[in-house]
Amino acid sequence: MDEGKSTNENPIESKPKNFIYEIIDEDIRTNKLGGRVHTRFPPEPNGYLHIGHAKSICLNYGIAEHYGGKFNLRFDDTNPEKEEQEYVDSIIEDVKWLGANFEDRILYASDYFEQMYNWAVELIKKGKAYVCDLTANEIRATRGTLTEPGIESPYRNRSVEENLNLFERMRKGEFPNGSKTLRAKIDMASPNFNMRDPIMYRIVHAEHHRQGDQWCIYPTYDWAHGLEDSFERITHSICTLEFENHRPLYDWFLDELGIYHPQQIEFARLNLSYTVMSKRRLLQLVKDSYVDGWDDPRMPTISGYRRRGYTPEAVRNFTEIIGVAKRDALTDISLLEFAIREDLNKNAQRAMAILRPLKVIMTNYPDQVEELDAVNNPENPIAGTRKVPFTKELYIERTDFMENPPKGYHRLMPGGEVRLRYAYIIKCEEVIKNSQGEVIELRCTYDPETKSGTGSSKKKVKGTIHWVSAKHAVETEVRLYDRLFSSENPGAEENWLEHINPNSLEIIPSALVEPFLKNAKPGNRFQFERHGYFCVDTKYTTSEKLVFNRTVTLKESWGKTENQK
């Protein structure tokens, strides 16, 4: 991942990027963890990764890279009922795409099950864990409330021998789901709920996506997570705020076991305006078909953004821009849009595309095809130029003509002039309407003295519009995306699903694009001039028809000022 301009060569001398870097700087200075830095990204394979995960990945990998340390990808696969191989595969793909380098370290918590089991036995032997026969309801009922302590389980004081025996039989599969748990013996009166004899193992007779039916007891997250980090000798276990209250429990386990102790640091998860960011909700959008899969371009998933045309560079840069802190915040989507525009402006090939065509006939133009030169990317001269065919019959954008334009409109109008990009200045001489009174065609004249690039034009016009030659244009499908939700913070609404934006997808079945685009390949990105950035869809594009996804619009200042008038 490229390190931005803000960071110096010497990691220890450079100014810390955020409070986590400060902590690590200090740890290195005091040699607290042997001066090592080893981070990890520990997703549960129960859904696709979203932009919030990207923040975590970039943070963790960025730290490893910055300090010359290592970065692990580790699946926290401790719940067979929710996890699937499909999710594992997608996560690996997404992390790689983002550019976080875990080398050969794709690790799985489930590979440590035997070790965890042994550690649990150790705790039982120390008298620090016991098998409890209470049902889920009974456990809930005896946990206490915010102000009252819990009640100790009647099974809390079983002998070590009995616990050992029972725990072994749990593993052997002698008991049905939910009939017994292994609990840590800590403190039912602790003000911290996590310390009220938390559950370490539950009985789940389910097939695990990697372990098959090897196990019928599964470690809970609270028991497993700190052990995983310890086992991998992670130095800094970076996680989100909601695990802050769990830290004392992880510390307790590690200390009772007397094993290597990573340092946990919590940061605020990303919330993005006009979208939801919980896997539970994203899953519902997918399962109930509000969207077309996890990689629907309207989804805030990494695969969704990828399909929409975002680049890994832009996503990384976005995570850099938003920073890292401990206060929860709602990040404005405009920061993400800035990141992708900045990238694509520099790198995207330009093209002309007509989304809503209006026919224009140049009455004084000969029956010929002229090959005009067009710049591929004004931000990058090396990108060169291309030829665009120009004929007397063209299509322009419907919105680039107005019969009765408001003040300040400087595109085409009756009797008005406008420049056709890379071509000539034309004048609208006649407006043709159908029987409904709708404008269906314009008759224009062109001024041969105004050809682009010749410097021969004495005329100046306010507007330049794009166009496409009628007989050369390629018909394609274009998909315009808008925000998926109309509420700024849908997750906070009473019924979040009611705030889905009904117009989040508009399909234009036959847009007309420049001929060179017919060779575009899925994933290729372009700027359609004056519209925005688009990429060739990887899912619906066929050899017959290209489908373009709009990644993001161009900034538009005309509409804004218009609204203020």
Label residues 461-484 b or e (16+ Cβ within 10 Å = b).
Answer: beebbbbbbbebbbebbbbbbbbb
Our finding on whether 154 is near RNA (CB under 7 A) is no
Cβ closest to RNA, residue 44 vs residue 122: 44
Our finding on whether 202 is near RNA (CB under 7 A) is yes
Our finding on whether 147 is near RNA (CB under 7 A) is yes
β-pair partners for 72: 40
Shortest Å, Cβ 349 to RNA: 10
Our finding on whether 82 is near RNA (CB under 7 A) is yes
Residues 84-113 that bind RNA (CB under 7 A): none
Our finding on whether 395 is near RNA (CB under 7 A) is no
Q: What angle do CA 285, 525, 277 make, to 5 degrees?
A: 25
Our finding on whether 136 is near RNA (CB under 7 A) is yes
Is 269 among the catalytic positions?
Answer: yes
Site string for RNA, 431-470 (x = CB under 7 A): --------------------xxx---------xxxx----
Q: HSE-up of 523 (CA within 13 Å, CB side)?
A: 4
Among 105, 410, 427, 472, binds RNA (CB under 7 A): 410
Shortest Å, Cβ 482 to RNA: 16
Is 506 among the catalytic positions?
Answer: no
Stretch that binds RNA, among 112-120, 281-289, 388-396, 548-556 (CB under 7 A): 548-556
Residues 467-506 that bind RNA (CB under 7 A): none
Site string for RNA, 353-382 (x = CB under 7 A): ------------------------xxx---
Active-site choice (269, 359, 427, 443):
269
Torsional sign, CA 451, 455, 457, 460: positive
Torsional sign, CA 80, 86, 89, 94: negative
β-pair partners for 396: 358, 467
Stretch that binds RNA, among 29-37, 251-259, 331-339, 361-369 (CB under 7 A): 331-339
Q: Which pairing describes strands 525-528 and 532-536: parallel, antiparallel, or unpaired?
A: antiparallel
Q: What angle do CA 405, 409, 412 make, to 5 degrees?
A: 75
State how far the Cα of 554 lies from the Cα of 560, in Å rounded to an integer: 13
Among 160, 329, 432, 440, binds RNA (CB under 7 A): 329
Cβ closest to RNA, residue 296 vs residue 426: 426
Is 301 within 8 Å of 282 (Cβ atoms)? yes
State how far the Cα of 247 lies from the Cα of 237, in Å rounded to an integer: 10
Our finding on whether 191 is near RNA (CB under 7 A) is yes
For residue 168, count other CB atoms closer than 10 A to its CB.
Answer: 14
Catalytic residues: 44, 269, 279
